[in-house]
């Protein structure tokens, strides 16, 4: 069964490019795209994807608030943040809002697909403890993506 994904980003070229790359994989299906948090919330409620790839800084409802509402409304939908924001405050806010993981947009495509599949949930360029047991101070066991 394919993993159903919604891409949320305010930049059309980014959404289209990511969609094109994701469609190359046999186990991932992009079911929708959204340009802001409000659209993401509506589409998530309608389509019930497995994963929402969420940008943080968008006009209107931002990605942190959208993540909070998506996770609150449907705990089975996983939100994976894909953002250019590397500041610890963004990472912590996203994880507290319920994000299952956090990757930077500078991540390699292989890292993004691994995160979608549940294999990596914290970007290697984000502050990670030397023990590899935490991502920005949050225990990794709390961040693991559930097996679908």
- Output the pTM of the full model: 0.83
| Of 80, 28, 30, 21, residue with least CA distance to 56 | 80
Distance CA 20, CA 118 (A): 20
User: How confident is the prediction along the chain (148 residues), in pLDDT tens digits per residue?
Assistant: 899 999 999 999 999 999 999 999 899 999 999 999 999 999 999 999 999 999 999 999 999 999 999 999 998 999 999 999 988 889 889 999 999 889 999 888 988 998 899 865 565 555 544 334 445 444 443 333 333 3
Distance CA 5, CA 72 (A): 18
CATH class of 3-143: alpha beta
First vs last Cα of the chain: how many Å apart? 10
Distance CA 38, CA 59 (A): 10
- The b/e string for 3-29 (b: 16+ C-beta within 10 A; e otherwise) is bbbbbbbbeeebbeebeeebeeeeebe
């Amino acid at each position: 069964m394919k993993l159903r994904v919604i891409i949320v980003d305010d930049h059309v070229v980014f959404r289209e490019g990511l969609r094109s790359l994701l469609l190359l994989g046999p186990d991932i299906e992009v079911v929708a795209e959204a340009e802001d948090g409000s659209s993401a919330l509506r589409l998530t409620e309608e389509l019930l994807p497995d994963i929402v790839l969420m940008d943080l800084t968008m006009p209107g409802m931002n990605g942190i608030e959208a993540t909070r509402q998506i996770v609150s409304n449907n705990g089975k939908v996983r939100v994976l943040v894909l953002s250019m924001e590397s500041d610890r405050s963004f990472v912590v806010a996203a994880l507290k809002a319920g994000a299952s993981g956090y990757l930077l947009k500078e991540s390699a495509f292989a890292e993004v697909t691994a995160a979608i599949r549940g294999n990596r949930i914290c970007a290697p360029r984000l502050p990670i403890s030397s023990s590899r047991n935490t991502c920005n101070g949050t225990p990794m066991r709390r961040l693991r993506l559930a097996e679908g």
